[in-house]
Amino acid sequence: MMAQLIKNRTAQADTWLTLELAEGDTPETLALPAGDVIFPLAVWQARKAEIISCHKRIGLLLQPDERVEDVAGDLDYFIVIAINFPKFVDGRGYSTAALLRQRYHYQGEVRAVGEVLHDQLFYLQRVGFDSYALKEGKDAVYALAAGFSAFSDGYQASTSQPQPYFRRRA
Amino acid sequence: MYKYDAIDRQLVNERVAQFRDQVRRWQSGELTNDEFRPLRLQNGLYIQRHAPMFRIAVPYAMMNSAQLRTLASVARKYDRGYGHFTTRHNLQLNWPKIEDVPDILTELAAVEMHAIQTSGNCLRNITTDQFAGVAADEIIDPRPLAEILRQWTTFHPEFAFLPRKFKIAISGTEEDRAVTWFHDIGLQLKQENGETGFTVIVGGGLGRTPIRGQVVREFLPWQHILSYCEAILRVYNRFGRRDNAYKARIKILVQALGVEEFTRLVEAEWEHGKDGPATITQAEFDRVAAHFTAPAYSAEAADDSYIAARRDAEKPFARWLERNTHAHKVAGYAAVTLSLKQHGIAPGDITSEQMETVADLADRYSFGELRISHEQNVILADVRQGDLYAVWQAARDAGLATPNIGLLTGIICCPGGDFCDLANAKSIPIANAIQARFDDLDYLFDIGEIDLNISGCMNACGHHHVGHIGVLGVDKNDAEFYQVTLGGRQGNEAKLGKVIGPSFSAGEMPDVVAKIIDVYIENRQDEERFLDTFDRIGIDPFKNRVYEGRAHGKAKAAEKEAA
Ligand code: HEM
Ligand code: SF4
């Protein structure tokens, strides 16, 4: 089984391949697969020219401790930026997504990957994620039905609603 | 007091439905224990020594009588007919069943209460001065901003999974009563050139690594507190440690970076949010502030002669007036503290019957409202002077009139080993033993103002570091021992206490406290309070007396051997 992709509020097949560094691989030497590939930041940084020359559609994977600031100049290259949640309680990815959207005005797909669970979908969507690789074994149908609509609104300004509630009061 | 409007009600109701669904999925196995844990914690549900423990929020300490009656009925229906007020304006129930919690939340939501983010690694309940709005020395009423902060913290999408818990305190008086130096963020009122704002203090905290906070911004106009907190939280969320729970509080990040570098990061982040949509509008401030207007105080002069006559006639009443009533900014009124520190009862505990009595008193004498103090007592904030005698009588009959506020037996105490899994030692029996030892009210009054704080372990839920006398439960070879600190204090000059020496057994504690008090009484000059004498003579005279003739270390082991 693999993660189930939720995008545009439907369950979809994932057409992207995420490149993983195996034991002994280095970003400099590993073979780059063809197709739609999500590259780890280290590989992108080491092989940028090569990737650009042979890939039309490029994705980037950011780990919790990787800073958006370090790729800020490259964002136009990416069709998708995947943000990893190794544990769902590690909330750094929320700030990463918020920065991508709010500060760098990144318009492509922002995808939550890793331990992505039903009860985080509402918050993820608020900060600017628009696709979600729901953890394997979890109920995508129920997530679609209930996960995004846990709350009907929010007090704070965030990506999906840039005005706080108090500025929207009649 | 703040009344929910449509959106507030809707979000709280949606939260109840969400949690009900989470409990259902956990019971059916769809959610694993690990997946469920942070969800239940963010709804105030701990699993503790005997049973789940459930923490209900009392935002910035304010409550109305209907809410307290609901707490009374919830405690009776789902628990054992009592609750425990904590040092952070929350009510804890010690024995609820997890399956009942959705129903409890439903009953609470009906009176505009909840348990949102009362636990877990998230933005916690906002705390402030229990005398907000009535304090004679108040410059601004912090409650409208506390409510605006409450809304901002509630379900903040970016900061729901922080490295560790995050506590914000806000104070609006010259004399800080909100412990702002020991919070993750402390907002301390400041006026500059006629503008109202706050000094922003970051990185304070007690717990295992007690640290006084540091000033990150001397002056922040009030309109910017949300955007500034947002900048602080973003820096913390991104860069706070997550590898070790004991090193994950923001205080550790501030220490590691140094306050200058931390401030630089925050200010750089704030450049982006400053003057943005999170800036509080005057309209929003006014909307919220309209909920906190002064009640309809009576213009009639207070019937002082009656109270004065009763005071002269009845010493117990006079004592209560002295300790349990406080200056009010409106002539003819007083704020009253109902003591939850009756000797022999767990400090902060309150029965359902007592809650109902307090609710009745609030309705009859204090505009139907009350507050919870961080000293774990209940406050009726707006009592007419002429009603004080009646309030005292009713409170006394309900066991809520012990005149020990600010005195030695008005102990602040955590649940400790009787209830808490993390405890090294019991704390409630120590509090009760000290109360029994100092049961003579004349003597207690003679000793005068003194804060005694007890925590059952270094997590410091009883704020022992800032007690004039602090007692900390420690584990010595699997036995319960107590370490004593002296000279800690809260307020503007907040300071951590100094450890007096090797720890004591439970049985020794009343004597140890008695000796400390003796040294004070023998040395005090004129009107000196305990703390004044301590500051003048230092810790040594106390140390000498307490350890006089007491063998420790090897000698003690030998003694034990011989016994
Ligand atoms: C029995 C259930 C409880 C548990 C398991 C518990 C656990 C903890 C832990 C682990 C900390 C330290 C957090 C840290 O330093 O990162 C802490 C801090 C604290 N607790 Fe509790 N606690 C409990 C009950 C209470 C109660 C009943 C009160 C109030 C009387 C309370 C008030 C506080 C306060 C004020 C702090 C803040 C100290 C600080 O970090 O500055 N807690 N608690
Ligand atoms: S101080 Fe320790 S023993 Fe007391 S409640 Fe907190 S965690 Fe438990």
State how many domains chain A has. Answer: 1
Per-residue model confidence as pLDDT tens digits over A116-142: 999 999 999 999 999 999 999 999 999
Nearest CA in chain A to B12: A151
Q: Note the ligand closest to the C-alpha atom of B86.
A: 1
> Is B151 in the A-facing interface, judged by CB distances under 8 Å?
yes
The amino acid at residue B33 is N
CATH number for the domain spanning B374: value is 3.90.480.20
- Domain check: are B139 and B269 in the same one? yes
- Domain check: are B212 and B319 in the same one? no
* Inter-chain CB proximity A91 and B30 less than 8 Å: no
- Domain check: are B214 and B341 in the same one? no
- Domain check: are B254 and B158 in the same one? yes
Shortest distance between the Cα of B221 and any Cα of chain A, in A, equals 19
Q: How far apart are CA B217 and CA B189, in angstroms?
A: 12
Domain end call among B368, B397, B426: B397
B162 lines ligand 1 (CB under 6 A): no
Q: How far apart are CA B412 and CA B454, in angstroms?
A: 6
Ligand 1, pocket-test mutation among B48, B252, B461, most atoms within 8 A of CB:
B461
Structure tokens at B401: 């009139």
Q: What are the C-alpha distances in Å from A128 to residues A103, A122, A144, A154?
A: 12, 10, 17, 14
Q: How far apart are CA B137 and CA B115, in angstroms?
A: 32
End-to-end CA distance of chain B: give it in Å, rounded: 62
- Domain check: are B363 and B285 in the same one? no
Report yes or no: B142 and B189 within 8 Å, Cβ to Cβ. yes
pTM for this entry:
0.91
Nearest CA in chain B to A97: B158
Range of the domain at B65: 6-109
Per-residue model confidence as pLDDT tens digits over A137-162: 999 999 999 999 999 999 999 999 99
> What pLDDT is stored for residue B49 in this prediction?
65
- Domain check: are B91 and B152 in the same one? no
- Please report where in the chains the tokens 């140390």 appear, as a residue: B543
What would you report as the CA-atom Rg of chain A, rounded to the nearest whole angstrom?
17
Question: Could you give the residue ranges of the DSSP H alpha helices within chain A?
Answer: 41-54, 92-102, 121-127, 140-142, 165-168
Report yes or no: B89 and B372 within 8 Å, Cβ to Cβ. yes
- Domain check: are B202 and B242 in the same one? yes
Range of the domain at A36: 5-169
CATH number for the domain spanning A100: value is 3.20.20
Looking at residues A41-69, what average pLDDT do you find?
Answer: 96
B91 lines ligand 1 (CB under 6 A): no
Low-confidence ranges of chain B (pLDDT < 50): none
Quick one: which H or E segment has residue B479? strand B479-486
**B431 CA to middle of ligand 1, Å?**
18
Chain A / chain B CB contacts < 8 angstroms? 105
Residue B366 within any structural domain of the chain:
yes
B48 lines ligand 1 (CB under 6 A): yes
Measured in residues, chain A has a length of 170
**B417 CA to middle of ligand 2, Å?**
8
Q: For residue A1, is pLDDT > 50? A: no
- Domain check: are B161 and B192 in the same one? yes
Chain A interface mutation, best of B18, B223, B238, highest count of A Cβ atoms under 10 Å: B238
Residues in A closer than 8 angstroms to B157, CB to CB, are 94, 122-124, 126-127, 154, 156, 158
Which residue's CA is the closest to the ligand 1 atom numbered 1? B420
Residue B119 within any structural domain of the chain:
no
Quick one: which H or E segment has residue B304? helix B304-313
CATH number for the domain spanning B443: value is 3.30.413.10
State how many domains chain B has. Answer: 4
Sign, CA torsion B69/B74/B77/B79: negative
Residue B58 within any structural domain of the chain:
yes
Shortest distance between the Cα of B286 and any Cα of chain A, in A, equals 11
- Domain check: are B317 and B266 in the same one? no
Q: What are the C-alpha distances in Å from B309 to residues A153, B314, B382, B385, B401?
A: 58, 9, 22, 13, 19
> Is A52 in the B-facing interface, judged by CB distances under 8 Å?
no
- Domain check: are B276 and B320 in the same one? no
Helices B225-239/A92-102 angle, 10° precision? 120
B206 lines ligand 1 (CB under 6 A): yes
> Is A139 in the B-facing interface, judged by CB distances under 8 Å?
yes
Structure tokens at B417: 């080993």
Which atom belonging to ligand 1 lies closest to the Cα atom of B164? 16
- Domain check: are B180 and B269 in the same one? yes
Confidence category of residue A92, pLDDT binned at 50, 70, 90: very high
**B140 CA to middle of ligand 2, Å?**
34
Structure tokens at B425: 């030692």
- Domain check: are B42 and B181 in the same one? no
> What pLDDT is stored for residue B552 in this prediction?
57
B373 lines ligand 1 (CB under 6 A): no
Q: Note the ligand closest to the C-alpha atom of B428.
A: 2
